[in-house]
Amino acid sequence: MEAIEIWWIPLVIFAPLAGALLNGLFGKRIGKGFVRLVGVGTPTLAFVLSLAAFFGLFYADYGTSPRAQVVAFRAEGKPEVIRAIKAELERRAAGSLGPEAAWQFRIEDDGEVLRIRNASPEDTILRDLHTRYAGSVEFGPAHEVASPRAYAWNLGEWFAVAGLKVDFSFTVDRLAIVLMLIVTGVGSLIHLYATGYMGHESPGTFARFFTYLNLFLGAMLVLVMGSNLLLLFIGWEGVGLCSYLLIGFGYEDEDNAACGTKAFVVNRIGDLGFVLGMFTLLVAMRGLGAEPSLDFAALNNTLGATPGSLPLLGPACLLLFLGATGKSAQIPLHLWLPDAMAGPTPVSALIHAATMVTAGVYMIARLGAVFTAATVWGVPVLGIVAMIGVLTAFFAGMAALGQDDIKRVLAYSTISQLGYMFVGVGSAAMGAAVFHLVTHAFFKALLFLAAGSVIHACHSQSMREMGGLWRKMPATFWTMLLGAAALAGVPLLSGFFSKDFILFNALVRFNSTNSSPLWGFIYALGVITGLVTAVYSTRMICLTFFGEYRGHGRPHESPSSMVGPLVVLAILTVLGGLLGLPKLWTHKEELLPGEWLGPMWPFIEERLAGNMPADLHSLESMGLAIGSVAAVAGVLVGVVFWGRRHPSEIAWESRQTGALARARAVLANAWYYDLVVNKWGFQPATKFLAGLLWRNVDDAAIDRGLVDGTGRVAVQLSLFVRSFQNGQVARYAGYFVLGVLLLTTSVAIFSVPSVLHTVQRLLGS
Amino acid sequence: MEHQLLLVTLFLPLVGALFMALFLPQEDEGAARGAALGISLLTFAISVPLFFLFDAQRPGYQFELAWSPGGLGPFALDSFGASFKLGVDGISLLLILLTTFLVPVSLLASWRGIAKHVKSFHVAVLLLEFAMVGVFAARDLLLFFLFWEIMLVPMFLLIGVWGSEGRIRAAIKFFIYTAVGSLLMLAALAYVYVAAGRTFDLDVIEPLFAEMRADGLLGARAQFWLCLAFAIAFAIKVPVFPVHTWLPHAHVQAPTAGSVILAAVLLKMGGYGFLRFCLPLFPDGVAALAGPLCVLGAIGVVYGALMAIAQSDLKSLIAYSSISHLGLVVVGIFAGVGGAVAAGHARAVTGSVFQMIAHGLSTGALFFLVGAIYDRRHTKKIADLGGLAKPAPRMATCFVVASLASIALPGTAGFVGEILILMGVYENSVAFAALGATGMVLGAVYMLWAVQRVFFGPARGENARMEDLGGVELAGLLPLLLAAVYLGLRPGPFLALLEPAVNALVQGS
């Protein structure tokens, strides 16, 4: 990868950080107008800079030639043929004024592959050559730009100790820029929305809110742009801090603060895995004799080069994945995200849906080569990732079905959708996962902001106190409907394409040679979860917008600062699918996941080559059909159960008795996981253990027993010794005789010379 | 020139203390406060150039200075092999800077809390500074021991005279614990003196002992017992589980300045002693004791954190958090001893020293803040507090930042220290690294839980009228917090300073 140094790259990070600093120091005193300007302006500036970087990268790779494809000749075991072809092509290109003048050649893979940039498989010269060497040479598009461009800037050394050097260096490559555009773009929209949502707060609170929100963007950008694992970790913990501060934003209610604390602590458990995984990678690197480094390029190139050969990679990646389950709320550490809904709704949209929680997916994609090379006892780590992902998707999706609080529906939905993303990375379809990350950022941010608009109007989060709002809040209704449809996977909306592309990749794994039947399970559960998703999406829309209004007051549409972002996000939600239309329809690589991101993981295709099922097209059409049926069926189920014009749809659920009521209770409590693991498990166990040790060991046994006991023994001893000195001369004489006897006996036993010798030796002379 | 700087840094507090004792009127409290603050600030200002003058490329000790007066008959120092010898390497230099930085801060911390014997209080703090700098600067064993013992007196007085209700008991416990350690150290010191041919000069003893070890004249057995004697003295100071119980008492009872200095500097004497004496002088003894010390350190990490969770008193919670953090430092110093990866050991030891500095800053700030709360509410019970963020936002912000520094959030000094320790330890022992890393989780539990109970939730009664931090307090706190963040972002120059010293230690052992 060629990195071009550009000095303004760090400005993308510094812009929101400067915003945080300005608002934090002066916001309260200067007033809301200033806070609004700085709070929304700096993320927008970061977005503009990101756009500039994007166009730079785009034209660097595509600008020179509109065709800009890469084709390859492959001749296994015959490098001489490849050399002959190259010589021939260079001769043909040399004097030409045609498109072949732009060809760039590169021989790779021990001379067995010749890649040609800026060429097309349709070129007659190339096809002629292929015919000439037919039988010994394969020819076709290489599905990649040979070396996609990246921008980088190094701000200098962070620390260097005993051979390990870590820099403050940032890289903007094709993967990072996608995340940067989402973080700054969707982030700016949410900041704008928040100026309306938080508009009634006092200037101090308002300034504090935007300080944290801007700080979050800065940290998230460090996470995305850092070019080594430790820098990613700074961002990783930095966003965790902002999440903590913003969940507990309304700190005067201690419950909010407790939710923040819980989120931080649970994430710290994951981070424990993260750092241990990082250390294991370092040790693995030393095992290869490589210089220790935490740079992604070094990690991927050295550790990811030889799949299955390094036994340490498996544990390392599992530990890193534990970190990902914390940040991205997957089983077993998902329990903090529903409670994170205690934060203001724009926070939920930005941090707990669109950006921060996807960090785990991003981290795995970043370390793609390492993760694809890792196995534990012969099981690929990515398979485990996919399995955890699909299980999380299913269990969280079911839990979403049992929630009455609209934000908790969306929280469980987010956990579930993140699960899909892990199925994506787990299927080695990093691009598909990032594609879903992008569309999910659009539609889930939209759903949260629309929910916020509803909450703003009804002054309640419970869907029991909503209903019939579609007439009162038309803009909110229509935009939220689109978001919910995208979430449900209704065909042609963005969520449909991205989710089905992930499931298609799982299906491909299942149909590959030497596949495990578990991939079939993953695919099937993924489809079932898709159906569940459609059901709870429909339920949410029905309970919120249809039937009679069950709440208090007179709800009305939100101000334009809130509706505006909804409309923009709704447009993105609808059009987002264009970023990855299936190959089946376009006969080209999918735009975002294939064409743009594919070159980030060139090895994946090679590693899977030979295992691919023969007929991808029919698999893909089957996948699309099954996905569509599941989504439509789910919507129908939802409409049948919750869509009737009943005054109080939710009463239908409450009226149930017996098995259905029990099932509802199980789902409402999200399978009782939090209750059992946290409230009955971790919390009391820690407190009990701490209290027990404190009272019985520290205070009683060590301090009062051992320490004070020693003191008491000393006092008693001195009292005893004092009793000898009682002034009776006759007794003194008795002690004297006793002493002399003891002394002579001991001298007789340990003869004099040896005593003297010991004394001499002790004195060293 | 540089040598004089070190000398002045050492003696200015002593001279200042004498001046105050002799010439300042007893009743003029303002003058006492001002004079002490001025003297300690001047000391800090004089010590800072040492950092820039120190040549980080050069191994060994710098600014060395020796004075061994003869001609005093039986009292001549040189007649029994002692000398007034100073010198610093990277490790001691950083700790000296920590000391001179923390003393003015601690004076500001007690600006309004000290009401009686104000002048004597400030004299005691300056005497303490003199002794602490002396401990870090001494290159003569006897001189080191003298400073070590002198240090005990003002600290004993600080707790015993200016402490709260249970001060006498706490002071005596502190004194006896330390005295037991000192006694063992004195015995070992005498042996070293004799074995080295009647000299206390460390520059002589270190190479001599290396030779003797090579020639088999200083066997593993002797090293074991000597190392053990030193190690017990230092373990009590750290403090290592199970000889830690003096610390919570001392902290809870001590006045704020005492707590700040105790946590920030005095607790570093143990770690410093391990590095300065045990590792270079008795490597075979260290090899035998490293395992048990690591186990105790790792127990300390988990145990200290659990104890912190169980506390109902904010000050004792922070005291126990120190036991947890310094347990990790002990693991960092010893886990790589005899390990396969020398670079790992070097990383861990570097991290340990850095963590000692970081802990001084963050925990110093926390005790400062607890003192500020106590000055206003006259209680340290967590249950009595709550919701303070509303009436006192500046205090809440500072406390949250200090807490985050304490739990090693990236971007603070603690993170650099902790990650270097864990990384280095991991390369030699996965188990100790994993145990040590549990502090990451448990630290977040007790610290954020404390923040939640003290600062969040509704503010009731007197808590609602809590007065926010004032200018004097901010003047003391902000430098601490800024330093914690600065060291987290630009640790490079400080780590570079440590490298030669640490390399010498790691190769030696």
Picking from A300-314, B47-61, B487-501, which range would have the lowest pLDDT averaged per residue? Answer: A300-314
Instruction: Tell me if chain B has a CB within 8 Å of the CB of A166.
Output: no
Phi-psi region of A515 (alpha: psi -120 to 50; beta: other; left: phi over 0): beta
CB contact under 8 A, B245 and A286: no
Is the predicted pLDDT of residue A194 greater than 60, yes or no?
yes
Placement of tokens 């002797």 in the chain: B222
* Confidence (pLDDT) at B74: 61
* Model pLDDT for residues A292-338, shown as the tens digit of each residue: 899 999 999 888 887 777 889 999 999 999 999 999 999 999 999 99
Which of chain B's residues have a Cβ under 8 Å away from the Cβ of A761?
Answer: none
Quick one: angle between helices A203-225 and A359-366, nearest 10?
20
User: Strands A149-161 and A138-141: what pairing?
Assistant: unpaired
Least confident window among A337-351, A405-419, A646-660: A646-660
Mean pLDDT of A575-586: 88
Asked whether this complex has an ipTM greater than 0.90, the answer is yes
Probe site for chain B from A262, A698, A704, A706 (most B CB atoms < 10 A):
A698
> With 80 as the cut, is the pLDDT of residue B21 above it?
yes
Using a CB-CB distance cutoff of 8 angstroms, which residues of chain B are in contact with residue A283? 426-427
What is the nearest CA distance from A159 to chain B, expressed in angstroms?
A: 5
Three-point CA angle A422, A585, A177, nearest 5°: 45
**pLDDT per position as a tens digit, A395-435:** 999 999 999 999 999 999 999 999 999 999 999 999 999 99
DSSP B64: E
Pairing of strands A375-376, A379-380: antiparallel
Q: How far is B240 from chain A (nearest CA, A)?
A: 13
Q: Tell me: the pLDDT tens digits for B236-269? A: 999 998 899 899 999 999 999 999 999 999 999 9
Window 215-254 of A, Cβ < 8 Å to B: 230, 233-234, 236-238, 241, 244, 248, 251-254
Q: How many CB atoms lie within 10 A of CB A710?
A: 12
Percentage of residues in chain B having pLDDT higher than 70: 97
pLDDT of residue A513: 76
A343-347, A728-732, B206-210, B360-364, range with the lowest pLDDT: A728-732
Would you call A265 and B444 a contact, using CB atoms and an 8 Å cutoff?
yes
Q: Is the pLDDT of residue A754 over 90?
A: no
Give dist(CA A53, CA A593) in Å, integer.
Answer: 19
Per-residue confidence (pLDDT) for residue A651, from 0 to 100: 66
Indicate whether B16 pLDDT > 70: yes
Chain A hits for B499, Cβ within 8 Å: 161-162
Encode pLDDT of B146-202 as tens digits.
999 999 999 999 999 998 888 888 898 888 888 889 999 999 999 999 998 888 999
**A690 touches B at CB < 8 Å:** yes
pLDDT digits (tens, 9 = 90+) for A10-67: 999 999 999 999 999 999 899 899 999 999 999 999 999 999 999 988 887 765 444 4
A/B interface, count of CB pairs below 8 Å: 148
CA–CA separation, A33 and A13 (whole Å) = 23
- Residue of chain B with shortest Cα separation from A692: B310
Question: What percentage of chain A reaches a pLDDT higher than 90?
Answer: 52
**Residue A261's closest chain B neighbor by CA?**
B448
Kindly determine whether residue A254 and residue B448, on different chains, have CB atoms separated by under 8 Å: no
CA nearest to A354, candidates A213, A448, A235, A477: A448
Q: For residue A357, what are its two tokens?
A: 């929680």
pLDDT digits (tens, 9 = 90+) for B367-380: 999 999 999 998 99
Q: Tens digit of pLDDT for each residue in B430-481?
A: 999 999 999 999 999 999 999 999 999 998 888 889 999 999 999 999 999 9
Q: What is the pLDDT at residue A647?
A: 53
A279 with B411: Cβ contact below 8 A = no
The answer to whether residue A3 scores a pLDDT higher than 50 is yes
pLDDT tens digits, B201-215: 999 999 999 999 888
User: pLDDT class for B509, splitting at 50, 70, 90?
Assistant: very low
Q: Is the pLDDT of residue A114 over 90?
A: no
Contacts of B409 in chain A (CB under 8 A): 237-238, 241
Buried b (16+ CB within 10 A) or exposed e, A621-644: eebbebbbebbbebbebbbeebbe
Percent pLDDT > 70 in chain A is 93
Q: How is residue A293 written in tokens? A: 């480094």
A454 to chain B, minimum CA–CA distance in Å?
27
Q: How far is A21 from chain B (nearest CA, A)?
A: 14
- Residues on chain A touching B424 (C-beta within 8 angstroms): 162
In this prediction, residue B392 carries a pLDDT of 93
More confident residue, B403 or A311: B403
Q: Mean pLDDT in chain B?
A: 91
CB contact (8 A) between residue B444 and residue A257: no
pLDDT in tens, A467-512: 889 889 999 999 999 999 999 999 999 999 999 999 999 998 888 8
Contact of A705 with chain B, judged by CB distance below 8 Å, is answered with no
Residues 6+ apart with CB under 8 A from A239: A216, A219, A220, A223, A327, A351, A355, A356, A359
Two structure tokens written together for B448 = 């954020």
- Return the number of other C-beta atoms located less than 10 Å from residue A318's C-beta: 18
Q: Is the pLDDT of residue A102 over 70?
A: no
Distance of alpha carbon A631 from its chain centroid, rounded? Answer: 26
Is A727's pLDDT higher than 80? no
Instruction: Indicate the average pLDDT of chain A.
Output: 87
pLDDT of residue A65: 44
In the 8-state DSSP scheme, what is residue A658?
T
Return the structure tokens found at A245.
Answer: 């501060």
d(CA B180, CA B172) in angstroms, rounded, equals 12
Which of B411, B419, B449 shows the shortest C-beta gap to A275?
B419
Domain positions in chain B are 2-508
Query: What integer is the mean pLDDT of A68-76?
Result: 74
Contact residues on chain A for B411, CB-CB shorter than 8 A? 234, 238
- In angstroms, the CA A319 to CA A280 distance is 9
State residue A121's pLDDT score: 74
The SS3 call for residue B135 is helix
The mean pLDDT of B321-342, rounded to a whole number, is: 92
Residues of A in contact with B303 (CB under 8 A): 693, 698
Contact B457 A251 (CB under 8 A): yes
CB contact under 8 A, B440 and A160: no
Q: For residue A100, which amino acid is it?
A: E
Which pLDDT score is estimated for A67?
46
Q: Does A377 touch chain B (CB under 8 A)?
A: no
Decide the pairing of beta strands A2-5 and A113-117: unpaired
Task: Determine whether the interchain pair B310/A690 forms a contact, defined as Cβ–Cβ distance below 8 Å.
Answer: yes
| Mean pLDDT, rounded, for A540-550 | 89
- Per residue in A200-231, pLDDT (tens digit) is 899 999 999 999 999 999 999 999 999 999 99
A251-273 burial: b if 16+ Cβ within 10 Å, else e:
beebebbbbbbbbbbbbbbbbbb
pLDDT value at B508 more than 80: no
Q: Which band of pLDDT confidence, cut at 50, 70 and 90, is reported for residue B218?
A: confident
Residue A297: Cβ within 10 Å count:
16
- Flag the least confident range among A640-649, A732-741, B290-299: A640-649
Q: What is the C-alpha to C-alpha distance for residues B413 and B455, in angstroms, rounded to an integer?
A: 24
Which of B303, B410, B455 is closest, CB to CB, to A237?
B410
DSSP string, A353-391: IISGGGHHHHHHHHTHHHHHH-EETTEEHHHHHHHHHHH
User: Is the Cβ pair A686, B440 closer than 8 Å?
Assistant: no
Alpha-carbon distance B30 to nearest alpha carbon in chain A (angstroms) = 33
- Please indicate whether, in this complex, the C-beta atoms of B456 and A275 are within 8 angstroms of each other: no
Residues B131-151 have pLDDT tens digits of 999 999 999 999 999 999 999
* Average pLDDT rounded to a whole number, residues A234-261: 93
Q: Report residue B2's pLDDT band, with 50, 70 and 90 as the boundaries.
A: low
Residue contact A158–B347, C-beta within 8 A = no
CA distances in angstroms from A470 to A61, A168, A546, A636, B298, listed in the order given: 47, 50, 7, 20, 60
User: Which residues on B lie below 8 Å from A280 (Cβ)?
Assistant: 426
More confident residue, A726 or A41: A41
Whether A2 shows a pLDDT value over 70: the answer reads no
Spell out where A13-161 has E strands.
70-74, 104-108, 113-117, 138-141, 149-161
Q: How far apart are CA A602 and CA A567, in angstroms?
A: 37
Instruction: Give A94: exposed, middle or buried? Use CB within 10 Å, 0-12, 13-18, 19+.
Output: exposed
